[in-house]
Amino acid sequence: MNARAHQVTVFEVIKETADAVTLVLDVPQAVQAKFIYSPGQFLTLRIPSEQEGRGGSVARCYSLSSSPHSEDRPAVTVKRTAGGYASNWICDNVAVDTVLTVLEPSGSFVPRSLDADVLLCAAGSGITPVVSIAKSILTAGSGDVALFYANRDRESVIFAWVLDELAASFPGRLTIVDWMEEDQGLPGSADIAALARPFANRDVYICGPAGFTATTRTALAQLAVPPSRIRNEEYRSLEVDPFAEPEVRVASSPKAGRTAAPGAHTATIEFEGETYDIDWPKNEPLLDVLLAKGLDVPYVCRESACGTCVCSVRSGRTRMLLNESLIDEELDRGLTLACQTVPEADGVHIAFDQD
């Protein structure tokens, strides 16, 4: 089992709508420090399965709907989807005192500052990380929040009572624009652009189905909102099992400088207070190299989408094979994804500690 996986007990189950539940988690005292999270991040849950081809379990990522600044326990919200094995299992089987296997918090769908004004755009269960961001800014920061929230109908609105309470508590700082498909049809880019125009100078966070995300990005382009100020959250079925223990071999000795092997570049890696000099094969992603050496580097999707394996290139030349989670500002700061990064020269220096 992955060393970053922990057994967590369900403290409370809240029925949000007919097909959505919130799981409030009771994290053991011994690992509470490992579950410190930022608003907008997610947890990865291991869901047992006896179905053929599932290998005994499936892994699914669910956004934290709680705020680390206003709630004592972390909580994730899960909406039942047609044909969705994991979401249906959770909605049908999880109860108080159920023990779940959970990876530590991950994700880069996080506000740059709690003191900056933001525009949040959500559809359906996409409200989950968005409400965490909204609660955090309003309760712990000074920023103003505008929320555009699209739903099929009123019965399907997740967190209706939470949003009502926030609106009553922060009338001068929270603006909510609801859109009901049953009354207005699907929102088009012109609709979203008209509603977003007063807030077009803000950072924008989008979470929802792919069609909603694409339409919203089109609307923001019409308003000339630069891509560097737009962040969207996207989940997909994982191709690898993040709970499986990776192959472990003895890691390179700290400060064991040497000439690179043929077909490899030399690199220096900082991780958890240690420095490792390694040979880095030219076409091997850094994450694969480090896992093979026994280093417990954090990761979830290994496909560039989640941002969990982000690290910083302090010096040297590298390139990413694929990038779906880092924005231009982060790339300019030298951030990269270990699961997609390959070396282009000797002398690369990479740090996983972001302070």
CATH code: domain of residue 205: 3.40.50.80
Range of the domain at 56: 5-103
Tally of domains in the chain: 3
String of DSSP letters for 152-181:
SSGGG-TTHHHHHHHHHH-TTTEEEEEEEH
Question: Do 211 and 123 share a structural domain?
Answer: yes
The identity of residue 83, as a single letter, is: G
295 C-beta neighbours (distance < 10 Å), count: 20
Look at the pTM and tell me if it is higher than 0.95.
Answer: no
pLDDT of residue 247: 47
Any domain includes 259: no
pLDDT of residue 249: 39
For residue range 13-61, list pLDDT tens digits in order.
Answer: 999 999 999 999 999 999 999 999 999 999 999 998 765 455 578 899 9
Question: Which residues of the chain register pLDDT less than 70?
Answer: 1, 50-55, 245-262, 354-355
Question: Do 294 and 193 share a structural domain?
Answer: no
Rounded CA separation 2/158 (Å): 32
Rounded CA separation 290/269 (Å): 9
Any domain includes 187: yes
Any domain includes 346: yes
3-state SS class at 141: coil
